[in-house]
């Protein structure tokens, strides 16, 4: 075993080394997918993949981290802890379930402390059909100049204009407009891109290589930044399929805390476009797929949004004073990673429970 605190890391390079060492300790072969760029400190970047179990297993659980870069501090810690967890590994083997760890889906964002990829794209809005006309998010288009203002901190006029929009349309409409995904403003928030990103293409290759033979496929994708601090909301991650949603609730839900869904409005998340799980249906069409995003809360939603706004502003203004830039980067970390033993303990305990439940569901 490893101490919970030891499993987490303050920087991407350290997180990657812990993951690689954990795989070696577990006797697993790591398959690196080298990123074309370098990290914040010049380090190599990679989406690293390790399979614990039989190749081409009929029952496969994917556990992935850092879809949204900076959120990888949380997800990587869960993965490292799991690789040192003998009871967990034996449980999966006993149920005949192979586990595929995908570490750092977005290593660039993880290293630079950003939510987006090197292309400035939200990876979890990038899985759309780019051969067809892209969705025009008209509400976001009106909000964009306010969300990424000319100056930071925003002016009182800017704040008043945003509050006026929210008062008129409602907080739920604001969240949907901003976070649902937009494809017009490359410097904006929740930008889904205008072509498949490196992360999109690489993940599809991983799925074809490791999950193509799966008859039953589960996926726990680890996220942060939404909901009450330390609480892991289990958000259904799949198409609007009643059978799949019922199966997810059978695996992970309880009467007191059912799996939530953006389709029926029960989730704290707004409905989203271009979700990563779309790749499963396209690359693993024979698999019965059941997945969740395990979303851990950090700060209140508007505080998280303001951290994102500041990060996008800073990316456009690299000449910003050092103290302002440092404060923005620190706030981004705080928005997606609560640096406390209590929070890390909550993260691991809830993820571990979800993983045990997933192999029970897959092995049934």
pLDDT surpassing 90 at residue 1:
no
Q: What is the pLDDT of residue 56?
A: 84
Can you read off the two tokens belonging to residue 90?
């034996």
Pairing, β 30-38 against β 98-103: unpaired
Q: What is the mean pLDDT of residues 273-282?
A: 97
Instruction: For 58-107, write each residue's pLDDT tens digit.
Output: 999 999 999 999 999 999 999 999 999 999 999 999 999 999 999 999 99
Structure tokens at 109: 């964002």
Q: What's the pLDDT score for residue 49? A: 98
pLDDT at 145 over 90: yes
* Phi, psi (degrees; rounded to nearest 5) at 313: -60, -45
**Burial status of residue 150 (CB atoms within 10 A of its CB: 0-12, 13-18, 19 or more):** exposed
The model's pLDDT over 93-121, given as tens digits with 9 standing for 90+, comes to 999 999 999 999 999 999 999 999 999 99
Question: Percentage of residues in the chain with pLDDT exceeding 90?
Answer: 98
State the average pLDDT for the chain: 97
Q: Contact, 162 vs 89, CB < 8 A?
A: no
Q: Residue 290, Cβ neighbours under 10 Å: how many?
A: 29
Angle of CA points 72, 145, 69, to nearest 5°: 5
């Amino acid at each position: 075993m490893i101490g919970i605190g030891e499993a987490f890391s303050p920087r991407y390079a350290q997180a990657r080394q812990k993951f690689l060492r954990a795989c070696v300790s577990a006797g697993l072969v790591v398959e690196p997918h080298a990123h074309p760029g370098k990290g914040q400190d010049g380090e190599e970047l990679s989406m690293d993949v390790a399979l614990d179990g039989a190749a081409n297993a009929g029952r496969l659980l994917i556990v992935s981290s850092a879809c949204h870069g900076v959120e990888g501090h949380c997800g990587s810690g869960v993965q490292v802890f799991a690789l040192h967890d003998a009871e967990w590994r034996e449980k999966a083997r006993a149920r005949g379930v192979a586990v595929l760890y995908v570490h750092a889906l977005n290593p660039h964002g993880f290293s630079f402390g950003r939510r987006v990829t090197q292309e400035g794209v939200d990876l979890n809005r990038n899985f759309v059909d780019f051969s067809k006309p892209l969705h025009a998010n008209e509400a976001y288009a009106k909000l964009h100049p306010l969300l990424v203002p000319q100056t930071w901190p925003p002016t009182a006029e800017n704040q008043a204009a945003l509050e006026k929009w929210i008062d008129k349309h409602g907080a739920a409409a604001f969240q949907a407009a901003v976070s649902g995904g937009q494809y017009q403003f490359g410097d904006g928030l929740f930008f889904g891109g205008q072509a498949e990103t490196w992360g999109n293409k690489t993940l599809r290759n991983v799925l074809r290589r490791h999950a193509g033979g799966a008859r039953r496929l589960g996926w726990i994708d680890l996220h942060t930044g939404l909901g009450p601090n330390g609480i892991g909301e289990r958000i259904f991650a799949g198409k609007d399929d009643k059978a799949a949603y019922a199966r997810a609730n059978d695996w992970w839900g309880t009467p007191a805390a059912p799996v939530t869904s953006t389709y029926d409005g029960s989730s704290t998340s707004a409905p989203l476009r271009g979700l990563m799980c779309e790749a499963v249906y396209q690359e693993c069409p024979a698999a019965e797929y059941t997945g969740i995003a395990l979303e851990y809360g950090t700060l209140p939603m508007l505080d998280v949004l303001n951290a994102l706004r500041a990060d996008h502003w800073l990316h456009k203004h690299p000449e910003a004073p050092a103290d302002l830039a440092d404060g923005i980067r620190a706030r981004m970390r705080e928005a997606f990673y609560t640096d406390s033993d209590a929070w890390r303990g909550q993260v691991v305990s809830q993820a571990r429970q979800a993983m045990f439940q997933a192999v029970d569901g897959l092995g049934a």
